[in-house]
Structure 1
Amino acid sequence: MLPIIWWFGIIVCSLDTADTAKLIPNMGYYIEMKQMDCVGNPNYFANLYCRIIPPKNRTMEASVNIMQQLSVFSGSLRVSIPNAKKVITQIFDITFDVCKVLRERKRKILIDLLVNTLAKNSNAKAWRCPFPKGKFESRNISVTDLPPMLTESEFFVNLDFFIPKVAIAMNVTLHGHLFEIAKERNRRKKYL
């Protein structure tokens, strides 16, 4: 039995990463979103629109009109999960300079995930500062490439964008559930 496992390991290690993902389809996560709200300060953002796309609630879309050029822009990202007693525990609290993050490309994993997710299906040519006036939209936004150290749970995300010492410009809140694909498949097999 050991030689078979050893050969399987050699074959998997020699494959391209995409091929490996096809061979091991049970690994990974997906997010199901339950509620999303977005509010913008009309001095900076007009016609702010965001929604979760049914029926699976795994993708979303958003659009906004930027009312004036934004050259100084910061963000605050907080992620919370309920514990066993349903008490909300904050697990991430990151404040960042949006322009510096985009310019230096030195990001924390969570911020990198956020930037890449929003940029995938966006009409913005490149995400950089200053942000010009105009309409920006992003469609079929889905969260992928999540780090492997996560566990299944409900989650709450609160994302604020602000002009430091001047005004809150936008707030986005998201409530959802993180599912581990392997566990979800096992549950389905059990009940079907």
Structure 2
Amino acid sequence: MHQKNIQYAGLPLAEAKRALILLHGRGGTASDILSLSPLLHVQNFALLAPQATQQTWYPYSFLAPPADNEPWLSSALSLIGSVVEDITAAGIAAENIYFTGFSQGACLTLEFITRHAQRWGGVAAFTGGLIGDKLYHENYHGDFGGTPVFIGTSDPDPHVPVTRVQASEALLRERNAQVTVKVYPNMGHTISRDELEQANTLIFKA
């Protein structure tokens, strides 16, 4: 199960007005995902990157039945909730909390925010979709209140079908998120410079 092992960067929570939670992909590290921060317009943010146990948030594909990925999936979602609680305890409101993630971390990001839909600061999901062998609408609650969400993905991608990205987009829109999806032909399983520019333009605006 996941321990609360957080890497911090940027401003201290006590001094920041905005915070960004960064979630790495399978086989990655908190340091890996934090290395994106110089490329994002987050210089005045507190940055918090949790580290997954054994470098994976859950053992199987995000398209597996959720029960197959337990108890790891619930542990990961609980960990993110705990990080959010730490940020709000420091006096930063939900509308000033941002999220970004890549691959497995992007899936986990989208799953968490949609289970706790409210007016967040913004979300940049690099190659991800909502988790499960199907979309479990009963797991999702709340209203995004216009939260901006960017999802970038490749067509094709070896792990994340475009059809799941599109289904996730539709569900987020139903809950009043302002969603922008950009599909990149044959980009591969990576984060492109254009995706970072899109995130800066749409999400991390000054």
Q: TM-score range by the shorter chain?
A: under 0.3
Give the structure-2-normalised TM-score.
Answer: 0.24
Higher relative contact order (CA 8 A, sep 6+): 1
The structure carrying a bigger helix percent of its residues is: 2
The structure carrying a bigger strand percent of its residues is: 1
Structure with larger Rg:
1
